[in-house]
Structure 1
């Protein structure tokens, strides 16, 4: 031990002394580490900043300390008295309905929200013009005031002061909404906001038996300390209330969860870029040690132990790695400030960005582990080279494995890297699959490189000297084949995967899904209006098919008597339990559904309540035949036994439900109806006539044009795809850096080859053709791998996760091949041109 510390001190001193020579040869090393570390730090910093802002502004975003939501019914007198006992209560009511022009010429779907005089309890409702909310929504001359989102003005081509029809009343547009404090907690809406008073909503006639209405009771607590205990107490005192409870510290749980999932995905993409960059680290370290052969030989000849020599260069590499990490952390620390300035246009974030140490620490750990994991193997090779071989100018032998301690160290570092990624992931199953795919891709790429070399070695002799030289360069000792294939393959495969997923989704939205989807959904149809409305539709679309089903809303409370709030639910099935679900009852199995397990009940069944559950969702929730499901409907808890599982085609956009109950379950319960119209021959003009006729004759019925919903979904998908492609581009940039580094590390050998060939009579044009052929062959092989790997990955995601029909897109294939060729040939020739300009004499004197 006494001799170890002095040796460590000597190694550190010599390492620092050698670094005085500068960072030549390490610029790509620095760029790779900085890029991957910066991506991880930036993604996690922005994610942490948004979630912290949501938590810090919880009261404002929720417009209360705690929120109780009831669907399709108001709170009873006892429930309201209970809520009033804890503080000031503000009531808001939300539903979707049609906003119409008085002359019936235009109409559009609107997210209607009615508020009382207490709203908002926290935050400020910003309007234009600025005036008290009560005065803007007040009744004047028989017309209630209304505030609208600017988008609604554009859709109906109206302005402030004009009139609108909502249900059976006239509204006066008194202003526009600039900022709604609790918009984020209300969830995503497919239509522009229309804000009215509670009195206006009651007069509109929109709230009827079975209407899909959400009543939110928000409380400003007299004693904020009871915020987290009030919900459980409310459930104990009113077990059948069926309300959904949310506190200010979880003001927007869906948004927070989606941000966490998206940041996890982007973190994994950043980790992929870092791992790809690790190949560049290995190349740079190998080239650095190759250039230090004389120094290493001198150290060994002077009696330096092998581990001291290794430690000298390990310290240098780690110090340079820390510099790259510092650059990446600087990027990660700055990005949130720019991101917040942009995100304020879309999210109500009033807090300022700051530095997020947890995110920076995570990125630092990823960077250090990657640097060490990919640097230790080249160091192991250098350690085993004897001084005599180094003095003879022989390079490191990469065909032999380094000693087992170095292999073990690299394995532990990579395992730690994977463990850190899995441990910090929101969905660890996805992280495991992603990392397994990356590891598999690395192995496959090594096999691809070996296969290309084997094919080149066994290829028949060709007449062209340039092509013959190119083929020889591919399989000769020290060839660039493994580095080029590995560096480009993973980045291109990731881009192909994302491009194919995006293309398939767009194709579904604009192609098969749009063609097979119904023209309209009609919601909140009252029983006494059903026949008349169907006759109206049939008159305008005689060839159309109208499907009608009873519609209720219910929230799942328990499985087999166990509270779902206390159960560990897989991430894939959580959406079924989030809020209320549409449910129905039926004598016969729904059209288009197929029973995969169990059997349907008899048409005249009168026994205990039964339910048919969607197979996929039931499997994700861990349910089986005979299990019981407790659902709260209209304030009543109903327990039904699972009689069968059925396959549901969600992508058809037809009427589908997770749960279909036996008719006796809801005998006598008030409810509305849901209907769809399918008419593939209907023109846009006919659809417009149907929309106007139904909206005018039945103003309380909500009509949703499916094409409009698909257009909105397409816009959202486009924004999401842009963000994903931008993040995937980080991995591709890392691949390009590694490719450039691989070519640079081979420049010494290429220079020697070029000089000898020129001395033997080879022309510059012939050598350029040879190098071009070599890079084209490698680029083409890498592109083919990327297409195969990316195509299989995209097929798996689209077919097995998204449950859609997957197809191969030729345009993506062509772009990938062209991109790979441009990158390999372009970058390769840029470096080669300088090599071909070397004078022969100086190089020959060094051989």
Structure 2
């Protein structure tokens, strides 16, 4: 039999997974013991960053998508103190269908029931052109606004009904007109386009507004002309073309133009600013959690010393060992990042479902992939930065680690390759923090503060250890053991000081910011501020109104100045649209500003450069500018400023610069012009009334009611009510900040627990040896309590100082408020943090002290 022998067939090879990954997955089958804090810290930080940025994107996309409804049309052209002239109306009518809305502040007079400030909105027959007006009871606009039995109809915010004890069907007077409240205003589609108001809304027709007699030359009425363009021009490019045509055809119109693309740019910018702040809080949580990551990885490498030594005894090079455990760490970090991304991505949907109907702005929940990607990068980079130092040291763990060096591994710097990787990861994390920030200056300040905090806390830890090493040894066992634990090799001092120090610093910073905001809004300002502002005082009635106030409030001081509204259109000949101003002063270029003229410098300001003009000055128009704002805009003496007032461009040269005390709430302006600049221009007056010893509610109500009856065209603003409105907004922001900051505080507690857990092995060894030598559980607990208490107290001192400095920088240089170091709340927070750290330490120690020595002595 002839044939050939053939080699036996081999089974087809399976695609093998990379050895490092295969080994890493195999080791992870044993579970994630010791990585609970690691995963929680990464998940918290990533969830905070992803949630805040995703919610911001949902809000901005909601505004963008609902821009047409918010704006009431495709475009809005706004004018202040005057209506559009024939040429302007003709231009708008030639581009589409036009509807008109007028808004102003006015006084609603309910007779014996009192008077109240209202935000009045007068609409035409086309309202609402987009969206739906909701009232209770439901009424069509024709029935709601029509004149009937000598009164015009209106819809009122329920807050107005409650404030004046009114109900649907009652009548009030606004100016010279009788207004019947025919419905409660439940929802208006263009509500947020009008900004934050100081009074409840009163919605009327434009015929009713004309009947009030409030529209006088110079009155502060904003006229908004909403344009719905034909479909062919409704694209973004088409709307931009219409805006450009308006600028070319009517260069001195002075109107503020918005499109559905940027329906509320100020609100969108505020969202971006607030998002940056909360993102920095989330990044703080991630960095604080990074300490927990470092502790967890250090403990992980410590537990794996025998495995590492075994691998190296079998020929595995150090680089492969590091790659193996770095892969494991990144896989575990990936789990934490995935949990954080899931929580952060779900936040907009949760907010929309739970609070969507309560939000003043439309929200469009969406999975913001770019923002989630940035949060993922934050998580990966933070894990690398805090894991690489401990993993790099694993490269040089010797085979002899199987037999000795069990208590405290040899400490050394990682090799250069790992230090280079650490530097690259850190640079990437810093670069991402700055590149993704809305205000890069604040981001750089945050990075510098974070780096300084880590460095200082490391120095504090070294200082505490050096001090403990030099102190005389106590005679009693527990204090002597506590002192030795602070400075011995492998001490928990660096980890505890870093984690506890960051937590206390954050607590103190938040407590001081909170107390300063509360003081500014509730204490300092009302004591220094006027009791009333009176707006829209007709020029012809200004003297009569001043005499009226002196008769009604003989002991009060009254200050009155002429007032107009103007919009800066160019600086030094450069259009405002081309100017890149500092973030702190850019608001001056956004919209209309109050302006005045004066023969002498106003009270509450002092000249810091230049000279004031003579009282009988008749030369070229001059202007006095706020010095700080001028610096932010790059202006100096002699530069020209062009403003549009009543549809006319006026150019004036800067004659002097003033330092203005804005917090007094007295009458002051960014720009004060020479009197000849606006000679003959129609204007109204603004006045303040200040009671030397303050006033009570009854006095305020009497003056408010009398002024509304005698001068119905004058708008009265009670300063306390205005501050309460601002305080409500700020309180909501503070609540949001506290909620986000709670994430960082939770991370601090997790890190503290992780630091204690990381020292479990060394403490277990100590406890076994000491119990074998006869130490009792009570004596060991006392020693550990003294150790944790001393470290907590020393760290609290640093946290108080660092937190006070951080709060000072934020309050003074970011919020531009005065700072008072009220440390009562901060000290209480610090004491509580120290107590929590001691309790956590003793709880972790109790489990160690309950172990039987025999089991562990066999392995030593």
Q: Could you tell me which of 382, 385, 391 is aligned with 1:370?
A: 382
Q: Could you tell me which of 509, 515, 518 is aligned with 1:497?
A: 509
Q: Could you tell me which of 68, 73, 81 is aligned with 2:90?
A: 81
Q: Distance in 2 between matches of 1:436 and 1:7?
A: 46
Alignment of 1:38 with 2:62, yes or no, is no
Q: Could you tell me which of 281, 306, 316 is aligned with 1:269?
A: 281
CA contact (8 A) 1:497 1:790 kept: yes
Q: Distance in 2 between matches of 1:474 and 1:720?
A: 42
Match of 1:558 in 2: 570
Could you say what secondary structure the match of 2:113 adopts? coil
How big is the alpha-carbon RMSD for the aligned residues of Structure 1 and Structure 2?
1.5
Give the alignment's TM-score, normalised by structure 1: 0.97
Q: Distance in 2 between matches of 1:33 and 1:746?
A: 20
Q: 1:786: Cα distance to partner?
A: 1.5
Alignment of 1:230 with 2:245, yes or no, is no
Q: Distance in 2 between matches of 1:473 and 1:16?
A: 37
**Counterparts of residues 184-195 of structure 1 (less than 5 Å):** 184-195=192-203
Could you say what secondary structure the match of 1:572 adopts? coil
Q: Which segment drifts farther, 735-744 or 707-716?
A: 707-716
Q: Could you tell me which of 306, 312, 331 is aligned with 1:294?
A: 306
Q: Could you tell me which of 401, 404, 417 is aligned with 2:429?
A: 417
CA contact (8 A) 1:543 1:679 kept: yes
Q: Could you tell me which of 190, 208, 213 is aligned with 1:205?
A: 213
Q: 1:390: Cα distance to partner?
A: 4.2
Q: Could you tell me which of 729, 740, 744 is aligned with 1:727?
A: 740
**Counterparts of residues 683-694 of structure 1 (less than 5 Å):** 683-694=696-707
Match of 2:813 in 1: 800
Q: 1:393: Cα distance to partner?
A: 4.2
Could you say what secondary structure the match of 1:308 adopts? helix
Give the alignment's TM-score, normalised by structure 2: 0.96
Match of 1:123 in 2: 131
Match of 1:3 in 2: none
CA contact (8 A) 1:160 1:173 kept: yes
CA distance 1:28–1:61, shift in 2 (3 Å)? same
Structure 1 gap segments, 5+ residues each:
1-5
Structure 1 outlier segments of 4+, above 6 Å: none
Could you say what secondary structure the match of 1:511 adopts? helix
- Give deviations 1:226-270, integer Å, cap 9, x for gaps: 212111210111111000000001111111111111111111111
CA contact (8 A) 1:212 1:524 kept: yes
- Give deviations 1:125-154, integer Å, cap 9, x for gaps: 111111211210110011000101111111
Q: 1:377: Cα distance to partner?
A: 1.0
CA contact (8 A) 1:321 1:368 kept: yes
Q: Which segment drifts farther, 197-206 or 356-365?
A: 356-365
CA distance 1:801–1:357, shift in 2 (3 Å)? closer
CA contact (8 A) 2:408 2:489 kept: no
Q: 1:403: Cα distance to partner?
A: 1.1
CA contact (8 A) 2:59 2:363 kept: no
CA contact (8 A) 1:596 1:645 kept: yes
**Counterparts of residues 358-397 of structure 1 (less than 5 Å):** 358-394=370-406, 397=409
Structure 2 gap segments, 5+ residues each:
1-14
CA contact (8 A) 2:507 2:830 kept: no
Q: 1:394: Cα distance to partner?
A: 3.4
Match of 2:754 in 1: 741
Match of 1:330 in 2: 342
Alignment of 1:539 with 2:547, yes or no, is no
CA contact (8 A) 2:781 2:842 kept: yes
CA contact (8 A) 1:104 1:696 kept: no
Alignment of 1:153 with 2:179, yes or no, is no
Match of 2:7 in 1: none
Match of 1:813 in 2: 826
Q: Distance in 2 between matches of 1:255 and 1:275?
A: 30
CA contact (8 A) 2:511 2:826 kept: no
CA contact (8 A) 2:604 2:668 kept: no
Match of 1:217 in 2: 225
Q: Distance in 2 between matches of 1:28 and 1:180?
A: 48
CA contact (8 A) 2:109 2:705 kept: no
- Give deviations 1:789-842, integer Å, cap 9, x for gaps: 111121222233333321111322332222221221111111011111111111
Q: Which segment drifts farther, 630-639 or 591-600?
A: 591-600
CA contact (8 A) 2:529 2:666 kept: yes
Match of 1:830 in 2: 843
**Counterparts of residues 431-442 of structure 1 (less than 5 Å):** 431-442=443-454
Could you say what secondary structure the match of 2:33 adopts? coil
CA contact (8 A) 2:61 2:363 kept: no
- Give deviations 1:698-746, integer Å, cap 9, x for gaps: 0110000001111222222222111111111111111111111110111
- Give deviations 1:534-589, integer Å, cap 9, x for gaps: 22221232221100100000000000111011222222111111110000000111
Number of aligned positions between the proteins: 841
Q: Distance in 2 between matches of 1:528 and 1:568?
A: 41
Q: Distance in 2 between matches of 1:60 and 1:420?
A: 36
Q: Which segment drifts farther, 708-717 or 595-604?
A: 708-717
Alignment of 1:136 with 2:136, yes or no, is no
Could you say what secondary structure the match of 1:571 adopts? coil
Alignment of 1:162 with 2:170, yes or no, is yes
Q: Distance in 2 between matches of 1:350 and 1:552?
A: 34
CA distance 1:395–1:758, shift in 2 (3 Å)? closer
Q: 1:118: Cα distance to partner?
A: 1.0
Q: Could you tell me which of 83, 89, 94 is aligned with 2:103?
A: 94
Q: Distance in 1 between matches of 2:421 and 2:408?
A: 20
Match of 1:72 in 2: 81
Alignment of 1:774 with 2:799, yes or no, is no
Q: Which segment drifts farther, 808-817 or 473-482?
A: 808-817
Match of 1:698 in 2: 711
Q: Could you tell me which of 757, 761, 767 is aligned with 2:770?
A: 757
Q: 1:10: Cα distance to partner?
A: 2.0
Match of 1:581 in 2: 593
Alignment of 1:454 with 2:483, yes or no, is no
Q: 1:350: Cα distance to partner?
A: 5.6
Q: Distance in 1 between matches of 2:24 and 2:364?
A: 42
Q: 1:396: Cα distance to partner?
A: 6.2
Q: Which segment drifts farther, 264-273 or 108-117?
A: 264-273
CA contact (8 A) 2:155 2:185 kept: yes
CA contact (8 A) 2:192 2:361 kept: no
- Give deviations 1:67-101, integer Å, cap 9, x for gaps: 00000000000100100111111100000011110
Could you say what secondary structure the match of 1:846 adopts? coil
Q: 1:398: Cα distance to partner?
A: 6.3
Q: Distance in 2 between matches of 1:638 and 1:88?
A: 32
Q: Which segment drifts farther, 399-408 or 558-567?
A: 399-408
Q: 1:311: Cα distance to partner?
A: 0.8
Q: Which segment drifts farther, 750-759 or 693-702?
A: 750-759
